[in-house]
Amino acid sequence: MSSPRLAIDVLTLFPGMFGGYFDESIMRRAREKGLVEIGIRDLRDWATGRHRSVDDAPYGGGAGMVMLAGVVCAAVEALRREGSRVVLLSPQGAILDQAAAGRLADAGHLILISGHYEGVDERVRGLVVDEEISIGDFVVSNGSLAAMVLIDAVVRLVPGVVGDERSVREDSFSSGLLDHPHYTRPRQFRGLEVPAVLLGGDHDAIRRWRRREALRRTLERRPDLLARARLTAEDRALLEEIRGGERGEMPCG
């Protein structure tokens, strides 16, 4: 059997959290196809001493416990190979976005460190971590939840995982914008109609409508994304039409 396109090792204190998630839907199919290999590693396997401790009280006092540098470093060093990328899930990291997910999908081998308690001993960052990633400016119970989110975002970008490659390319954020609206049968539901342009068979008109609606949604809901989006001349013209409509003006042309 050929090697997977992407191997992921997750270092966690809660391996039981991952079972059901990886046995369903896209994750299950990706593993069955041999495209992705996921190993859930219990950090306690690298603990030493009579009590096999994985954490201790922080120097200087304070609430909570800190994960031991020796345990985390030993685990990473046992799993790391040439080309491995070691990622610490941390609220102090760069926010996960579609560009980061795409970059990690090409990594070959990821080692994800799921933090817990008050986090990891600071020396872990300098010794074995390549980068830190956060899934958002909020707090979750432990880094295993964040690892699941990151894995999902990354795995679906591995070639061959999603059956229809277009659905990946057209996802929200893939072009720097939010996604356009989607409709399916029936044509009318509770008095609401599917936009006529989607029923006419004019593929260029459909493309233009979808792009316009993606721009409209992004302008209304996440205008900050427009500053970074790769906009074409047509995009800019569509934005002018949208803004003109909001001001009650008739678009030119």
Q: Which residues are catalytic?
A: 91, 118, 156, 171
Helix, strand, coil shares, percent, the chain, to 5: 40, 15, 40
| Closest by Cα among 116, 162, 117, 138 to 10 | 116
Task: Identify the DSSP state of 177.
Answer: S
Task: Identify the DSSP state of 120.
Answer: B
Q: Put residue 216 in one of left, alpha, beta given phi > 0 → left and psi -120 to 50 → alpha.
A: alpha
Task: Note the residue count of the chain.
Answer: 253
| Closest by Cα among 65, 11, 66 to 38 | 11
Contact 117, 67 (CB under 8 A): yes
Q: Which tokens belong to 239?
A: 């934005």
Q: Which tokens belong to 155?
A: 């795995």
